[in-house]
Amino acid sequence: MSNLLGDNYRLMIFGQSHSPMIGGVIEGVPAGVAPDMDFIRAFMARRAPGGALSTARKEADIPEIVSGLNEWGRTCGAPLAFLIKNADHHSRDYADLRDVPRPGHADYTAAIKFGGENDIRGGGQFSGRLTAPLCFAGALAMQLLREKGVRVRARVYSVAGIPDAPLDMARPDLDAIHDGALPCVDPTAAARMAAAIEAARADGDSVGGVVECFATGVPAGLGDPMFDGVENRLARALFGIPAVRGVELGLGFEAANLRGSRHNDAFRMDGDRVVTDTNRHGGALGGITSGMPVVVRVAFKPTPSVALAQNSISLARHEDVPLRIHGRHDPCVVPRAVPVVEGVVACVVYDLMSGDR
């Protein structure tokens, strides 16, 4: 029972990598909104496969809205359902994986959970392909947030340990993030990251990285103490993206190394607004937004599907066997994860804002 996200802007995702369709159902879009399909398609294109650094799978990823609109093409209060066709799937690539689970993948755990009936083709419901509906919902949330003055933007924070240049968490210059396969502030860093990804691909290997996301313009006072704070909601949602291994806000794990006098962000007045000059708290105190940018960082592991030989087991024969993975895989999920993280953060922030009274 797990494909549902949000309280007020509520998304249910469905589909597998090779099912006829993937898609989602969204409740809670205000009535009277005309989805900006150009924007949504452009946003989804940022995630779609096909870039220089990604898998060779080609998917047009044209979403079709099949319910939720009135005769004027505006939302009518009914759930908005959208579909994306799965076109270019090579299911035969995956047949052997039923017996020999790939290390670092959900093949084994899903086989145990679902008694061997899990859809192994292309990773089934665990595939990164399921982030396409997340991007649809995220793009729509972004459209809705735009009208409220909220902007959500992510960048590649690091790949294979290569960091991008720092961004001021209190007043981030989001326009300094370059577009392109690796959205970074520092083009040199982006080039080094791209080289590291290419080197890994050449070696039949993969690399991981970190995505950092900013939401600016979020008003103070959103989020609920204890288990439904901004942090809890972001973390629950972001761990829904495949390959995520860690989530932190503000300074995150680095905060653990500091003294309080160095970590606290002093308040000051800026006209009649309460602000902080630093934003080590990442825009959330006690689960509630402070009015400073929400800053979250998400760690992605290296793609587990590597071409190099690995050790695994035969589930049927209960013995150790070597494994070589074929098929098409991203050598690094981070570039395509950037819009996905933006989309998920947008869903969470819009959910919070639409719940606020």
Touching its own copies, residues 265-324 (CB under 8 A): 265-269, 272, 274, 276, 281-282, 284-291, 299-306, 308, 310-313, 315, 318-320
Identify residues 192-211 at the interface with its own copies (CB under 8 A).
200, 203, 205-210
Give residues 139-158 in contact with its own copies (rule: CB under 8 A).
Answer: 158
251 binds its own copies (CB under 8 A): yes
- Cβ proximity to its own copies: between 173 and 322 the closer is 322
Residue 25 near its own copies by CB under 8 A: yes
Q: How far apart are CA 109 and CA 113, in angstroms?
A: 6
Question: Does residue 259 interact with its own copies by CB under 8 A?
Answer: yes
Minimum CB distance to its own copies smaller for 51 or for 246: 246
The answer to whether 348 and 234 have CB atoms below 8 angstroms apart is yes
Contact call for residues 244 and 300 (beta carbons, < 8 A)? yes
Q: Which two tokens stand for residue 336?
A: 């395509």
Contacts of 23 (CB under 8 A, 6+ apart): 13, 14, 15, 63, 81, 82, 83, 84, 133
Nearer to its own copies, 42 or 279 (CB): 279
Stretch that binds its own copies, among 54-62, 137-145, 173-181, 220-228 (CB under 8 A): 220-228
- Establish how many alpha carbons lie within 13 A of residue 137's alpha carbon, considering only the half-sphere containing its beta carbon: 35
CA 117, CA 69: separation in Å to the nearest integer? 36
Q: In the range 49-68, which residues lie near its own copies by CB under 8 A?
A: 64, 66-68
Output 143 or 206, the one with its CB closest to its own copies: 206
129 scored as a contact of its own copies (CB under 8 A): no
Among residues 87, 166, 225, 324, the one that binds its own copies under rule CB under 8 A = 225
CA distances (Å), origin 324, targets 160, 189, 245, 290, 307: 23, 32, 24, 50, 6
How far, in Å, CA of 291 to CA of 98, rounded?
49
Size of the site for its own copies (CB under 8 A): 149
Residue ranges in 168-197 that form contacts with its own copies under rule CB under 8 A? none
- Kindly tell me which of 58 and 114 has the beta carbon lying closer to its own copies: 114
- 212 versus 342: smaller Cβ distance to its own copies: 212
Residue 56 and residue 78: Cα distance in Å, rounded? 37
40 residue type, one letter? I
Tokens 């981070």 -> residue: 334
In the bound complex, what is the minimum distance in angstroms from residue 175's beta carbon to its own copies?
Answer: 25
